[in-house]
Amino acid sequence: MADVGTAHAQRRISLAGYVGSAIEFYDFFIYGTAAALVFPTVFFPELGRVMAITASLGAFASAFLVRPVGAAVFGHFGDRIGRKQTLVATLILMGVATVGVGLIPSAASIGIVAPLLLIGLRLVQGFAVGGEWAGAVLLSAEHAPADRRGFYGMFTQLGLGTALVLSNLVFLLVYSAFAGAGSAFLQWGWRVPFLLSSVLIATALYVRLQVQESPVSTGKAAPTRPAGPPLAAVIRRQGGHVLLAGGAAICAPMLVFQAGTFFTHYAAVHMGYSLTLVLLVGVVGGLFAIVFAAASAILSDTYGRRRIIMCGVAIAAPWAFAVFPVIETNDHMVFGAAIVATYALAGFCMGPLAAFVPEIFAAPYRYTGTALSQTTGAIVGGALPPVLSPTLFASFGGWAVAAMMGGLALVNLVCVAALPETNGRRLSRRAIPR
């Protein structure tokens, strides 16, 4: 009966990680989609085309600047008071910020206050996300048996692909509903996906409140706390691993956010593709991300985290050099296939990370180390490329965008190669060998 109870508890934790991750990424992705397709017109109408999209994607990227702060703050409380309570706080903050974006008047109504409010709420989103992923993967990893940690960690990673499907599908339905309504979509139709988030957040909050706290945070299994703050302890004892694990997490967000923001804008504006096509491709891409994330996470329990991630990045590196030139062929089918392949590779690269990154750090500061590593990778891979791409493209052409992406993928590959294998490691107080 104990085994049955344990299995039931593990399934509930996996469901909580999946639902919470899906909703958090949904909130993040609808902002990214709107930043590429709507915000340049609604919030930055006085700027030229290139500057408007750069400002809009810059507002999108601003969230990444405060993610390290969120990682440090929520990592501290996650290591001190537990994973569950911290995750509830991140979910509520994210929900409030996302719904708030949907309520901001346009720049035509309130002037410069509108983009300032947009950036302010985006910063709140980034602060919340800084602590979300780490807590979700730790709940799964610290409850899971060592030989199935990749499998159970998979569910949190599936949230990204699910969020891609949801965010693109909701925007597709809303856009289709307003197709014959002139400017109604730009005036208020785009707000529906943001306001819908309130219902999804309430659902995720209910599920998350039902899970048990991690055994590493409570009872006899609780680790001895470091004398100082967890942030100081992880930097002092495993600072190099934070940087390497952050480098190992660059490729997936780079592929995801380039496909969902810059490539989306390029296809709609420069290539004249219909918004319906662009969003439909995002839905299909999300489904492929789910399948490939599941496959790589499960394979990592048999063949090792490091080997599977390196296989994925070894394919993604040359693809990163090639994807933008492929998209520039100006063929609808080729564009769709390129975006779907990009999302599939992103899923494969990220699948094992939910087990790999937590296994690197010692229990007393595991939340902080995991959050900082993922945040570092997200900043380098998820924030910089979408912001730099419009300027690189305007100044040098598509080859510069491709070179930037390929270079970042190679950095990811080197960092994974520099880390040891962690598969099967017992999540005790000790860290992996230096």
User: Is 433 domain-assigned?
Assistant: no
The pLDDT of residue 113? 92
Instruction: Please give the tally of structural domains in the chain.
Output: 1
> How many C-beta atoms surround the C-beta of residue 119 within 10 A?
16
In a domain, 224, yes or no: no
Cα–Cα distance measured from residue 91 to residue 23, given in angstroms and rounded to the nearest whole number? 9
The token pair that represents 341 in the structure block = 């392949």
Output the tens digit of pLDDT for each of the chain's 434 residues.
Answer: 334 446 677 777 888 888 878 887 887 788 877 887 788 888 888 787 778 877 887 887 788 888 889 888 888 887 887 777 888 888 888 888 889 999 999 888 898 898 899 999 989 988 888 888 888 888 888 888 888 899 999 999 999 899 999 888 988 888 788 765 557 777 788 888 888 888 888 887 887 777 766 666 555 555 555 557 888 899 999 999 999 999 999 999 999 989 987 888 788 778 888 888 888 999 999 999 999 999 999 999 999 999 999 999 999 999 998 888 888 888 889 999 999 999 999 999 999 999 999 999 988 899 899 999 999 998 899 888 988 888 898 889 888 999 999 999 999 999 999 999 988 777 754 545 44
Return the pLDDT at 180. Answer: 57
Query: Does residue 426 form part of some domain?
Result: no
Range of the domain at 194: 2-215+229-418
DSSP string, 147-196: GGHHHHHHHHHHHHHHHHHHHHHHHHHHHHHTTTSTTHHHHTGGGHHHHH
Query: Would 342 be classed as within a structural domain?
Result: yes
Q: What is the pLDDT of residue 182?
A: 55
For residue 161, being part of any structural domain is answered with yes
Tally of helices (H runs) and strands (E runs) in the chain: 19, 0
Which of these, 404, 401, 352, lies nearest to 148 by C-alpha position? 352
> Does residue 267 form part of some domain?
yes
Is position 223 within any domain?
Answer: no
Q: What contacts 100, CB < 8 A, 6 or more positions away?
A: 117, 121, 124
* CATH classification of the domain holding 47: 1.20.1250.20
pTM equals 0.85
Q: How far apart are CA 186 and CA 431, in angstroms?
A: 51
- Would you say residue 222 lies in a domain? no
Return the pLDDT at 208. Answer: 75
pLDDT on residue 161: 92
